[in-house]
Chains A and B, each alone.
Chain A
């Protein structure tokens, strides 16, 4: 198959970017989207041009490194996959594909399609942990946890921190990401002790870093490659309110 690619090129955070058009040909359906970009880059290098910078690492949909806004959707047209698991059989021969970085104020572009998502780390540092220091844990089976809760906690914990939710949201809200972490811990007895403080600190950090508000359009859930549910947002709102009630007393 042959494709026309319109790709966002930007030398660094400091300079303005623009779209450039490229062609790739002879791509098989079993080639992944990123492998298609590899092919383009090999050609660019051979021609003495600079390859397109994009983030990627595991290429199996779990590390959350890959991103890309493809034809107007984070991680492209398929539901519930990361860009690295998108295959070219999903496109038609001759298609024009528009490739942009994840765009959001708290995710500045570093180069071409690479953005800085370290704000997510900062939110976790603000409270996304259980303070269990090494060495003083009780036996793992000391506290039985109902399977239902464990499973729900897992569903929330499956977030890969890719940032698609932020890129999908018109307000660049990080509510899905933050609520997934808050829910993961709120659903487990180990996480209850610090629950109040956690939700307050994480939300405060999220606001401070310039993420927008949630106006319940749920584009985040639709675009999440891991199917993280907006139920978590509701749970976090409850957690946040009850924490507020207690501290306001």
Chain B
């Protein structure tokens, strides 16, 4: 084990980023033209980085697996994006946003990164408005804000229930502009399957063209991964069907450390699981908790009747309803952070108070808000979400309360990066959800969009230039180098190996089984025995996969099953690492709840003496991974047990 150095700049917290920028090396315009950068991913992180770096003069090659960059999963973000503008004049500031993020993350993130994030948050809103992002406005024409979990101020900017869509279309427009100027080359329907390292530095990638099946080599002076999160390890999640961990995992195999992989977020307000064919879970935005009240019956008899379909929500009298979040956490009520809200729902359902036929759902009720504000106002704010709910569940949420249950939603863990967002592989950067940097053990709502755009628009452009400044003499890389050939051969061999198995079980069955293991033993609540068991189960599942998976067709053609098989193979390895990380961390913090570590009231209990560090895992071919530590030093914030009561 070694101790990792995040290379945080000198100076007081509020000065660090300014100091970094003042000292960072620059690349002059003529030299930028000679430098190429590969960016894998066109979500908020990737698209904003591609647009900004191309505007600066670098040559960018942008990759995504969808048919268009505009379809990256950032498009699905609903609720909003945070910034410390303090437009509502309710006492917000950069410091407060920083503090809320550190506290919300349960003191497992890096102060310097989080402060920088809060610092650039305001520029993001300015930038987006300049691009024409139609944020919600008040009648006076100024921008409107709302509140999200874990905050007592209103700092969330939003565009109805489609904030991610509007932000991504803004970044996509910027990217498209640079495509038209010839500074960005777009490669859609490509699956990154390896990272190429030349003389110790990241210099290229190997991708599979998903339409033709061809394997391609691409070279550059630096590689940026912006490939999103890995929550699909759990099978059912709020992620897109194609969301995957391939780029991060192949980078991991090539030497990039994975940090805190067990920190995954379980979002409290998703539609409950309904049937065996179900392929994904739909999120109901956290913003709904601004006006919706969460409850289950107070009496177990009522819960049973609900489960048997004998009564409906509206049959239960007001005094027989248990608004358990308001009861347990009077200070934050329905707006407690996600991890707290999710666990509280699980606690009630495990105790038998669930409200649907599976017993795994709670109510989210708008009747008070409709009475207070009128139906029209609720429609304005959440119309599209209500519509979506009705379509999926065939029930009118204006009339009867919604049913919700927690689901996998976000990965706080990811590739370890230093202050410059560089991984442990020189020249390989990771931005957006695929890095681990800013959210500690729990992300606050509306902060992922902020981080993706902060990384892409305002951080990476400085830090990557600092890295590239001494590479201006390095000529373009030929992808005929032996390193490229070796990587391509490896990719082909792996695909051939999958194709050669021709066993009996489909990829989907393996993915489902993996998800089940992860959710049951490494989900909302975890313990030593369960995790140990799960580790063995995932290892066995992998053996079974590599001897019994069935993939039709061939590698040299459009083959969705082969794509899926490659993803699931990586998910299984990553799943194993998630479990190991969860086993190692014998404390509860944020989304990671170890049953062995809780207070008498059943709240999560951190162990700061032993676990105030980032666990960064190194891949060891054929062996168990090796853990390295980055100790977390808090210079400004004082560590206390989180309290939302």
Contacts and interface: CB of A to CB of B under 8 A. Distances in A.
Interface string B424-467: 00000000000000000000000000000000011001000000
Contact of A12 (B76, B280, B391, B557): B557
A38 B277 CA distance: 8
B173 interface: yes
Interface in B376-412: 388, 391-392, 394
A35 B240 contact: no
Q: Give the interface residue-count category, chain A.
A: 35 or more
A126 B55 CA distance: 17
Interface in B540-575: 550, 552-553, 557-558, 560-561
A57 B73 contact: yes
Nearest to A44: B552
A85 B127 contact: no
A49 B552 CA distance: 7
B300 to A, nearest CB: 27
Which of B52, B139, B240 counts the most A-chain CB atoms under 10 A from its CB? Answer: B240
Interface string B597-625: 00000000000000000000000000000
A187 to B, nearest CB: 8
B508 interface: yes
Interface in B120-150: 123, 125-132, 134-143
A184 B277 contact: no
Contacts, number: 216
A102 interface: no
B93 interface: no
Contact of A125 (B180, B461, B557): B180
Interface of A, secondary structure class, is: loop
Contacts of A27: 277
A48 B280 contact: no
A59 interface: yes
B343 interface: no
A20 to B, nearest CB: 15
B166 A157 contact: yes
Interface in A96-134: 110-111, 114, 116-118, 120-121, 124-134
Interface stretch (B63-71, B194-202, B316-324): B63-71
B486 interface: no
B376 to A, nearest CB: 14
B477 interface: no
Interface of A: 12, 27-28, 30-32, 34-36, 38-39, 42, 44-46, 48-51, 53, 55-65, 81, 85, 87, 89, 110-111, 114, 116-118, 120-121, 124-141, 143-147, 150-151, 153-154, 157-158, 160-161, 184-185, 188, 190-191
Question: What 7 A-B pairs have minimum CB-CB distances, sorted nearest first?
Answer: A144-B141, A129-B173, A137-B130, A132-B130, A137-B126, A154-B134, A140-B129
23 contacts: A30-B275, A38-B508, A50-B552, A53-B560, A60-B388, A61-B388, A62-B76, A62-B162, A63-B76, A63-B240, A65-B71, A87-B394, A118-B67, A118-B188, A121-B176, A129-B173, A137-B123, A138-B130, A144-B137, A147-B141, A154-B159, A154-B166, A190-B129
